[in-house]
Chains A and B, each alone.
Chain A
Amino acid sequence: MTLLGWVFMACSWFFILALSSFCFYKIFSKKKLD
């Protein structure tokens, strides 16, 4: 695996995990906007 491959994989995994954490956080701290 090339260095670019490692970077690409790490960024993708980070993005997906961050998105999932954000959604979990929002679901468990439910506040309506309006």
Chain B
Amino acid sequence: MAVAGSAVGLGNFLRFPVQVARNGGGAFMIPYFVALLLVGIPLMWVEWTIGRYGGGFEHSTAPGAFHSMWQKNRFIKYFGVIGIFGPLVIMIYYTYIESWTLAYSWFSLTQRYGSALDQEAMQSFLRGFQGLEKNEFFSSMAPAYIFFLITFIVNISVLYKGIKGGIEKFCKVAMPLLLFFAVILAVRVLTLGAVDPSVPENNVINGLGYMWNPDLSLLREGRVWLAATGQIFFTLSVGIGSILTYASYLKKGDDVALSGLSAVSMNEFSEVILAGSIVIPATFVFFGAHAVGAIADSGAFNLAFVTMPLIFQEMPLSRFMGFLWFGLLFLAGVTSSVSLAQPAIAFLEDEFDITREKAVKIFAAVTFLLCNAVIFFLRFGVVDELDFWGGTFCLVLFAAVEVILFGWVFGIDRAWEEVHHGADMRIPRIYKYIIKYVTPAFLLIVLGVWFFQEWIPIIGMETVPAANRPYVFATRVALVALFGVLSIMVKIAWRKRKRGRVS
């Protein structure tokens, strides 16, 4: 249940529609499904299995789990650092975006956005709230900061109580409620028809067409494949390191095959069928095809915050509906953000022998500082930069390392046997070859094509506005420094462990 909670979150309802819109609608869905079948599902099994295997050696995070699988190699543990670094980077901006859902839940109840009746006004409301401009809705960032503080405290409290006491109990209530409410919303959107009779082409059917009409010309662009692969990773929480940490708490005889597949199916149901039937068609109906892309380009998570309040205004009990929807989204966000925090906390607990309470306190102090940087530098493109490196690039890189380790170093025959220990289902045999050959090749090709097509413009910050470049550069320096600190911590932990064994 905790893994399902980590899989179903803001990635489904906020990030997915933006990725669809930014990458050509229907053009995005083909690589998306290819990545799901050839990368997402196999990696789910790989990560659950590596986690359970590492847990047998009392390691709950990637550096230790990787080292358990390839004990002769001194450097493999440093590749595992990506499995702590990636979720930590995502957590830094995810918590802030999660706090927007809490804020919008409150704004729905109080009808704070009630006077924003069209797309421009609603975008202005969002920009005012984010502190990007002062306008008639907001004169300062104080409301955003207060909601962030509440969100941060909720997250730390849940983490403090641990998986069984905090996260699982939370998921058991939040998940079914969120799915039930999403079904109601999907039905409402699909029965909207054309809202503005003067623009009949802006209707639900064309909205669905925006998402599903395949555009084969964009398939040659590495950017679309990397974005689709990145979304699969983000939404399934694979290539991040948090599933590995959760799976490390399983016993050797516990199932990983069916559990992994169930988490995938639940996630895809809520993402493709529910979120795909809500945000994109609704945005299309209200604003038209051109606006879908434009709003998506304004920020990696903005689309639903502009669109959904307008949909609620078209529904009966709009206050209550908006309050419930954003509230449930907040709960789903919390289940995901606490899972992002798990690797770093488990790393401190396992490798430095400190108590969970102390580990949570250290984690809280560090992430609080980093979150503040995100809040105050949001306008300079910091979130999009963190989302690219932490939420896309690192995930693909980490997955490539773990699948090669699993299929080639650990050995696919041994790995296949390990996946099926205590399994409730037999995985189709074709996946043995997919895991060994196709998944690593797919990931290396995506990385290679992206490197060939986009590396120079991205490194040279050619797409970043000139005013934002110093901030984006500083973000990159901070990310390198964070990775360096984590690597040094791994080195210290292993030296300590070695000394402990000698004495």
User: Which of A16, A22, A31 gathers the greatest number of chain B CB atoms within 10 Å?
Assistant: A16
B258 interface contact, C-beta 8 A:
yes
A24 CB to closest chain B CB (Å) equals 8
B135 interface contact, C-beta 8 A:
no
A6 CB to closest chain B CB (Å) equals 7
B212→A5 contact, CB < 8 A:
yes
B264 interface contact, C-beta 8 A:
yes
Which listed residue (B262, B266, B269, B420) contacts A33, Cβ 8 A? B420
Secondary structure dominating the interface of B:
helix
A12→B208 contact, CB < 8 A:
no
A23→B29 contact, CB < 8 A:
no
B29→A12 contact, CB < 8 A:
yes
Which listed residue (B214, B262, B264, B269) contacts A8, Cβ 8 A? B214
Residues of A within 8 A of B421 (CB): 34
How many chain A residues touch the partner (CB < 8 A)? 22
Interface residues of A in 14-34 (CB under 8 A from B): 16-17, 19-20, 22-23, 26-27, 30-34
A26 CB to closest chain B CB (Å) equals 5
Interface size class of B (residues with CB under 8 A): 20 to 34
A11 CB to closest chain B CB (Å) equals 9
In whole angstroms, what is the CA distance A22 to B264 when docked? 12
B265→A23 contact, CB < 8 A:
yes
In whole angstroms, what is the CA distance A13 to B262 when docked? 16
Question: What string of 1s and 0s marks CB contacts (under 8 Å) between B207-218 and chain A?
Answer: 011011110000
Residues of A within 8 A of B212 (CB): 1, 5-6, 8-9, 12
Which listed residue (B266, B272, B422) contacts A34, Cβ 8 A? B422
B424→A33 contact, CB < 8 A:
yes
Q: Which B-chain residue is minimally distant from A11 (CB atoms)? A: B33
Residues of A within 8 A of B264 (CB): 19
In whole angstroms, what is the CA distance A5 to B423 when docked? 37
Residues of A within 8 A of B266 (CB): 20, 23
Question: Which residues of A pack against B, CB within 8 Å?
Answer: 1-2, 4-6, 8-9, 12-13, 16-17, 19-20, 22-23, 26-27, 30-34
Can you report 24 A-B residue pairs in the complex whose CB atoms are below 8 A from each other? A1-B205, A1-B209, A1-B212, A1-B213, A5-B208, A5-B212, A5-B213, A6-B212, A8-B213, A12-B212, A16-B265, A16-B269, A20-B265, A20-B268, A22-B265, A23-B265, A26-B258, A27-B262, A30-B424, A31-B424, A32-B255, A32-B423, A33-B423, A34-B422
